[in-house]
């Protein structure tokens, strides 16, 4: 099977093909030096920069057979709250469309340049932040994986299929909530979930369920045909804040253990273990270090930090945190 490496980031990136014969066995200093030399050569002869290559290739845990194809934790950046800021100023003002900012489409590009592996948006029934126009443009311009969070309605299934998004995360949706406040009740609507998942998968879309760390919901998700489960980390995040991050506090330990045990069940069920909700630069490390975790989906904390650092840098800092924790 052909493999590809991305050198550089964004519109000046170069993709080249390689065909590895076997995993590299040994320490990473040799390959790391080779990558740096190759980066300098690209700078000199093509003007392209390869400084981001190691972040894209990743590094496998020590003690394992190291392979350039070894899976690395991925960061999904939710850009909903970029749209929230825009809507706070321009909601319902169609005459000022040319002035409307910040633009989530530009935010997605900046997030990609910062190292985002996935761009996540939630198109809500009430269109409170992300608009149909945003999804139209994102579907055409996002270079990373595009993840659409949505309710399991016929309207949204049609939109997901029409836009050919890479991934859908089914979430519960309430008009009175500021943000998603709990996991999807897959067990309580098993027949509907199975139907929706089947339609999306038939269209070539990977489907994830945003659920609480509950064994019965995980089993129901597997039976419904979900390929991934994103665990709701809100309870862990609240415990972390209330305990000051002190892992000697039983409550915080219990919440982290609940996520870890649920993650192990997801993996054992043949699904991908993802997590998200209320994760930030302080509490994310313990979650990123959990065995078997594949993706972290984070939005508000990154957008908040971007006010002070810029979005590209905010994403870069988060990506560095989770990759470093995952390697431990």
Please say whether the beta carbons of 119 and 147 come within 8 A.
yes
The pLDDT of residue 90 is 76
How far, in whole angstroms, is CA 192 from its chain's centroid? 25
Per residue in 131-154, pLDDT (tens digit) is: 999 999 999 999 999 999 999 999
The more confidently predicted of residues 32 and 303 is: 303
Percent of the chain topping pLDDT 90: 69
Residues labelled as active-site residues:
122, 149, 277
Q: Worst-scoring range by mean pLDDT, 88-97, 159-168, 191-200, 241-250?
A: 88-97
How far apart are the C-alpha atoms of 299 and 316, rounded to whole Å?
Answer: 13
Band of residue 217 on the pLDDT scale cut at 50, 70, 90: very high
Q: What are phi and psi of 17, to 5 degrees?
A: -100, 140
How far apart are the C-alpha atoms of 290 and 231, rounded to whole Å?
Answer: 12
The more confidently predicted of residues 63 and 237 is: 237
The pLDDT of residue 96 is 55
The pLDDT of residue 99 is 57
Band of residue 238 on the pLDDT scale cut at 50, 70, 90: very high
How far apart are the C-alpha atoms of 2 and 150, rounded to whole Å?
Answer: 33
**How high is the mean pLDDT of the chain?**
82
Q: Is residue 322 scored above 70 in pLDDT?
A: yes
Radius of gyration of the chain (CA): 20
Within the chain, strands assigned E span 3-7, 14-18, 74-78, 118-122, 145-150, 167-170, 206-211, 228-232, 272-276, 293-298
Beta strand 272-276 with 293-298 is parallel
Closest CA to 112 of 315, 309, 323, 321: 315
Residue 291 Cα distances to 11, 12, 34, 259, angstroms: 34, 35, 29, 11
Domain boundaries, the chain: 3-57, 74-327
Closest CA to 327 of 70, 145, 117: 70
Q: What are phi and psi of 300, to 5 degrees?
A: -60, -45
Per residue in 3-26, pLDDT (tens digit) is: 433 434 333 333 333 333 333 333
Secondary structure (3-state) at 66:
strand
Q: Worst-scoring range by mean pLDDT, 50-59, 225-234, 291-300?
A: 50-59
Query: What residues have CB less than 8 Å from 191, skipping those under 6 apart?
Result: none
* Its pTM surpasses 0.85: no
Query: What residues have CB less than 8 Å from 321, skipping those under 6 apart?
Result: 281, 284, 285, 288
Band of residue 302 on the pLDDT scale cut at 50, 70, 90: very high
Q: Is residue 28 scored above 50 in pLDDT?
A: no
Within a 10 A sphere around the Cβ of 163, how many other Cβ atoms? 17
The class level of CATH for 74-327 reads: alpha beta
How many residues are recorded in the chain?
328
Beta bridge partners of 74: 295
Q: Is residue 235 scored above 60 in pLDDT?
A: yes
Within a 10 A sphere around the Cβ of 57, how many other Cβ atoms? 18
The CA angle 32-37-40, to the nearest 5 degrees, is 130
Band of residue 180 on the pLDDT scale cut at 50, 70, 90: low
Residue 155 Cα distances to 80, 151, 180, 224, angstroms: 20, 9, 19, 20
| Mean pLDDT value of segment 305-310 | 98
Please say whether the beta carbons of 163 and 141 come within 8 A.
no
Per residue in 59-102, pLDDT (tens digit) is: 343 433 333 444 699 999 999 999 999 998 877 665 556 557 99
Q: What are phi and psi of 206, to 5 degrees?
A: -75, 135
């Amino acid at each position: 099977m052909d493999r590809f490496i991305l050198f550089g980031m964004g519109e000046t990136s170069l993709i080249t093909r390689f065909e590895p014969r076997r995993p590299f066995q040994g320490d990473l200093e040799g390959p790391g030096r080779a990558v740096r030399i190759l980066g300098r050569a690209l700078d000199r002869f093509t003007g392209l920069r390869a400084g981001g290559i190691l972040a894209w290739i990743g590094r496998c845990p020590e003690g394992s057979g190291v392979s350039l194809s070894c899976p690395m934790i991925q960061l999904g950046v939710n850009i909903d709250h970029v749209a929230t800021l825009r809507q706070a100023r321009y909601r319902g003002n169609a005459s000022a469309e040319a002035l409307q900012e910040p633009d989530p489409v530009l935010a997605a590009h900046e997030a990609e340049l910062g190292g985002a592996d996935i761009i996540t948006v939630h198109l809500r029934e009430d269109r409170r932040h992300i608009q149909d126009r945003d999804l139209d443009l994102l579907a055409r311009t996002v270079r990373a994986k595009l993840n659409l969070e949505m309710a399991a309605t016929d309207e949204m299934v049609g939109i997901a299929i029409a836009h050919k998004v890479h991934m859908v995360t089914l979430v519960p949706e309430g008009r009175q909530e500021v943000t998603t406040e709990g996991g999807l009740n897959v067990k309580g609507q098993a027949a509907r979930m199975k139907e929706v998942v089947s339609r999306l998968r038939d269209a070539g879309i990977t489907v994830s369920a945003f659920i609480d760390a509950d064994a019965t919901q995980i089993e129901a998700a597997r039976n419904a045909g979900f390929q991934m489960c994103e665990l709701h980390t809100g309870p862990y995040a609240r415990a972390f804040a209330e305990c000051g991050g002190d892992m000697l506090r039983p409550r915080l330990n219990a919440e982290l253990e609940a996520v870890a045990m649920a993650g192990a069940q997801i993996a054992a069920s043949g699904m991908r273990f993802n997590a998200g909700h209320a994760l930030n630069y302080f509490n994310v490390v313990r979650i990123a270090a959990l065995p078997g975790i594949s993706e972290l989906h984070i939005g508000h904390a990154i957008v908040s930090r971007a006010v002070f650092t810029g979005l590209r840098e905010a994403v870069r800092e988060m990506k560095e945190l989770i990759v470093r924790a995952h390697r431990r």
